Structure 1
């Protein structure tokens, strides 16, 4: 069984400019107990929702296990769905389809590419996080079905 640890929706891009200047403040808390997912569009309320340039990367999935040797708050990765118990980076490498179900029905996703870390990770997580997260930065995905995700236990199914 997998677990959804956090859901992150942000209407603004907080990591712009120089990392030494610090992130832009969010106008509202980014952590949510639940999020509405729309097929082909992303997470309702997120800055990448329904953006044509980001359709193949509308949702980012991140495994908290990637922070085991780094530390830091996984919310600071700014990945949308933070999970435990799923090999997220393998999903990205294999461009796999998968479903997550947190109790309101399965939501199908297509993984497209790896979510590469940026230099901001050294500032918001820990020194050296940028390099340490290479190859472990998560997966950029497109939702294929509509649904609702909640924080908590989840059923994960990888499709072939």
Structure 2
């Protein structure tokens, strides 16, 4: 078990990075970060743009490590810029592809299948700044399927590998 911190949570009802990056993001709320998220097994985060969409079931939730934010490109880079859902401090989430993990921020553990890397796209150079896409290569977070219902809140949490390549964490 690893002690981590849930630094940010983002639930976005609209897909704001559609079309060409040169056209800029679609309008939306200035801040979609929230203090808690409701997770539903096989569906995603309640209220998020990918919730319950069959084409995104294996990528309904995206988790990123705070240590990999491209703060050298923009010191204010956060989930509003990367469009990930959960920002964790204290674990290299990118190294857990193929694992099942449990994240417990207090209300009880929520399990996720860590399916694949979240590859950074050209939008990162627009939303964060030039060079962000390259800076996030191989550390842009992971796309997950929720395997249980639950709640995740900001603050201290525990991270555990339930099954997978590294069950010692």
Q: Fold conserved (TM > 0.5)?
A: yes
Report the CA distance between 1:4 and its aligned residue: 0.6
Cα deviation digits, residues 47-104 of structure 1 (max 9, x gap): 1001011100000001111125433421210100011111111012xx1111001110
**Would you say how many aligned residue pairs link Structure 1 and Structure 2?**
158
TM-score normalised over the length of structure 1: 0.94
Q: What pairs up with 1:125-140 in 2 under 5 angstroms? A: 125-140=128-143
Secondary structure of 1:149's counterpart equals strand
* Partner Cα distance (1:73, 1:60) in 2: 16
Q: Unpaired segments of 5 or more residues in structure 1?
A: none
1:146 corresponds to 2:149: yes
1:74 corresponds to 2:117: no
Secondary structure of 2:64's counterpart equals strand
Report the CA distance between 1:29 and its aligned residue: 3.5
Secondary structure of 1:5's counterpart equals strand
Report the CA distance between 1:154 and its aligned residue: 0.7
* Partner Cα distance (1:44, 1:110) in 2: 18
* Partner Cα distance (1:69, 1:143) in 2: 32
Q: Which residue of 1 aligns with 2:59?
A: 57
Cα deviation digits, residues 5-34 of structure 1 (max 9, x gap): 111111111111222322112247410000
Secondary structure of 2:68's counterpart equals helix
Q: Which residue of 2 aligns with 1:100?
A: 103
Secondary structure of 1:4's counterpart equals strand
TM-score normalised over the length of structure 2: 0.89
**More displaced stretch, 23-32 vs 4-13:** 23-32
* Partner Cα distance (2:161, 2:26) in 1: 36
Q: What pairs up with 1:43-54 in 2 under 5 angstroms? A: 43-54=45-56
Q: Please give the root-mean-square deviation of Cα atoms over the aligned residues, in Å.
A: 1.3
